[in-house]
Amino acid sequence: MPRELLAPGDYRGKAMEAQVGEAGTGTPQVAVRFDFLDYDETNRVWYGYFTPSSMENTFKALRTAGWKGNDLEDLSDLFSDNDPPEVVLVVQHEPDQQGNMRDRIRFINSVGSSAGAMLKKKLEGKDLSDFAARMKGEILAFDQRQSGGAPPATKSKAKGKNGKPKNAPAPAATTDDDPIPF
């Protein structure tokens, strides 16, 4: 039985899971499953692509959905914390390959702005590591363009004996007992 189509429009949602893989054409892509907050048991998958013409929009959408990292092997920021950000999912209708109408998440916007996931081939192991390494520079460049300054520090998976990241800066000494940060 086909699922009921959502009407075109804006819907509140939160990311539930994400995967990196390839479309049937071999194009690298990311799929993020979103839970629709105003509809019980309703979720849809948004697909972003890593082509020269679509990469910037894909990075923007991932950032809007809550991803803070720069390593596509770790998309857990999207859903692992207790409260991923709420987003506005813009749903539109389009025909599928058989000509049947389907609803599709076209855009992921931040609240207040206007306007397993299913992949043909999930990237894993060395394939995912190699692709993530190729994209790291693109992600850092994207962040730098967005902030107009230096790229953010990279997340390191290497841990020292104390369980903290190697080469992590020591906590700053404080002399003020006031808990207010300003």
Q: DSSP secondary-structure letter at 159?
A: B
With pLDDT > 90 as the criterion, what percentage of the chain qualifies? Answer: 56
Q: What is the pLDDT of residue 182?
A: 33
CATH 3.30.420 fits 9-147, yes or no: no
Mean pLDDT of 47-68: 95
Per domain, the residue ranges of the chain are: 9-147
pLDDT digits (tens, 9 = 90+) for 135-169: 999 999 999 988 887 655 555 444 444 444 444 44
d(CA 73, CA 62): 13
Which segment of 30-34, 41-45, 47-51, 83-87 scores lowest on mean pLDDT?
83-87
